[in-house]
Amino acid sequence: MARIGYLVFLMVFVLPFHAWGLSVTTYGALCNGVFDDAKAFTTANAVAVALGGATIDVPPGCSLGSTVKVSAKVVFNGTGQSLPSVKALSANLTLFNLGGAGAAVTNLMIDQSAFTNASGCAINIGGGEFGYVNQVTILGSFEGVCSSGTAVTIQNTIVLNPTTTTGTCFVINVSFNTYLLNNLCRGTSSTLQPYAAVKIVGAGGGHVLYNMQGIWSGNGLVVNANGVTIEWIFSVNTVMDTGTGTGLLLTANGAGVLKGFQSTGDWASSFDQNGISVTQGTGTIDQVSFTGLRAFANKQNGVAFNSGTNLSVNASSICGNSTAPTNTHNGILADAGATGVKITDSTIGTCALVGGGTPTQAWGVLSLSPSIQIQGNTLNGNVGGPVSLAAAPTTAIIKDNIGIDNVVPTIASATTITLPVNPTVVLSGVASVQTINGFWPGRQVLIVPQSTANYITGGNISVANTPTPGQPSIAVYFGSSWSVR
């Protein structure tokens, strides 16, 4: 009897793993598209655990009516993303719950499209480290893959046609070091879109997004530090295109903190709101940078820095935004709550990719920020002009910009004049000038009078001066007044 028992043990537990690998069909899965195979999946998982970890084969046509736990070192592996491996038998179902180190789901197609799902996540990665999802296609879920683990990798995974506008394809909750690599989120149509392609909402940080794509998602990437601290997110070659919301939305509320967001080579195009929006609300956002950003053809601003500190755009193309209506929004908005803004070495205006190069943006940069640097940019092709300082900054550096430095505008003399941001201007007319607006500490402007206009005291000019027509004067603002020599 002992020998027979040993042979049964070999046949049921050992040989399936060592001889031909574990399979859910060995433990009762019919995989006929009707029968609930969840019990067989659970049994196969228990066998794999007893073996110290194993890969379990999942053939096409299986169905699940309840959640399957995937334990540490257990991998459920299908036959490919293009074959329907697992079908949900009920709405709002989490099909796989990865609960241990090294738990994984790979090479599967999960189909939840028979139901209008209002909750649940097709694959949930819970506690533990090194959870792994690779080459999975998910159809019709509420949320596709949700992670609360550490050092989790979600790779080569496609989430298609979510069934509601409140779900999200990929959700990162409380976790550290999540890697989202080569994944795609695509909504059903221009009218049925998930809330976001990617949503990061839990305390943690050190997340990496690489080659992510969101098409027809209401918002592209949403990072919301609502009462939590999120530190350092790295986004590389993330493409967010066409949605009813914002391409990349960074927010912090409820004393939450978002510290460190670094974007390299990302794309935000054809959204009904802003391409990029940074708003700290009642929280704190610090150190946000975009390098190589492409923000095209968004209905509102290409980039909106509404609030936050140390915000930068470098070596980027921001063009053809403010598409509906035109001449209303801007390439980049730096609002009054945004400080330490740097815009450098970028092209902001028109581009042949959008509308054949027809100008649509009101201003290249519209700033109300108290501290801003605009340097080394090309700012041609904006309807209102290259830069508007709608509020006087306390600190500003504006230099070496094409569309500003190479243009010499003419302004008419009057009791009060407002200087544009250009470093050289021509002053026409004969009226005496008493007040000069368009100032910030340390600003220098070369003013060339065409006629006999002079400068008088009584406003913010320190010493009266009558320049010679055609002879440039240097105007320098320091303290609270201009010195014109």
Tokens of 319: 């063009």
Give the residues across from 448 on adjacent strands.
426
What confidence tier does 354 reach under pLDDT thresholds 50, 70, 90? Answer: low
**How far is CA 44 from each of CA 71, 102, 334, rounded to the nearest angstrom?**
11, 16, 57
11 secondary structure, DSSP code: I
Q: In the block, which residue shows the tokens 């050190």? A: 206
Mean pLDDT score of the chain: 92
Q: Are 176 and 205 in contact (CB under 8 A)?
A: yes
Q: Where are the domains of the chain?
A: 53-399, 410-484
Q: In the block, which residue shows the tokens 């409380």? A: 174
Question: Long-range CB contacts (< 8 A, 24+ apart) of 388-394?
Answer: 388/363, 389/421, 389/438, 389/440, 390/366, 391/336, 391/367, 392/437, 392/438, 392/439, 392/440, 393/367, 393/369, 393/440, 394/370, 394/440, 394/441
What confidence tier does 255 reach under pLDDT thresholds 50, 70, 90? Answer: very high
Helix (H), strand (E) at residue 224: strand 219-226
Averaged pLDDT, 186-214: 91
CA pair distance 321, 272, nearest whole angstrom: 10
Condensed to tens digits (0 to 9), the pLDDT of residues 286-337 reads 999 999 999 999 999 999 999 999 999 999 999 999 998 889 999 999 999 9
Give the residues across from 88 on adjacent strands.
64
**How far is CA 31 from each of CA 35, 62, 87, rounded to the nearest angstrom?**
7, 4, 10
- Predicted pLDDT at 19: 32
Q: Is the dihedral of CA 214, 218, 219, 225 positive or negative?
A: negative
Q: Are 96 and 67 in contact (CB under 8 A)?
A: yes
Averaged pLDDT, 383-396: 94
pTM for the whole structure = 0.92
Condensed to tens digits (0 to 9), the pLDDT of residues 421-438 reads 999 999 999 999 999 999
Averaged pLDDT, 247-264: 97
- Predicted pLDDT at 4: 34
Tokens of 7: 């042979």
What confidence tier does 358 reach under pLDDT thresholds 50, 70, 90? Answer: confident
The answer, yes or no, to whether residue 12 has pLDDT greater than 50, is no
CA pair distance 377, 348, nearest whole angstrom: 7
- Predicted pLDDT at 8: 34
CA pair distance 485, 474, nearest whole angstrom: 5
Averaged pLDDT, 45-56: 97
The answer, yes or no, to whether residue 151 has pLDDT greater than 80, is yes
Averaged pLDDT, 151-167: 90
- Predicted pLDDT at 277: 98
Smallest CA-to-CA distance from 142 within 123, 124, 168, 160 is with 168
The second-level CATH assignment, the architecture, of 53-399 is 3 Solenoid (2.160)
CA pair distance 367, 401, nearest whole angstrom: 16
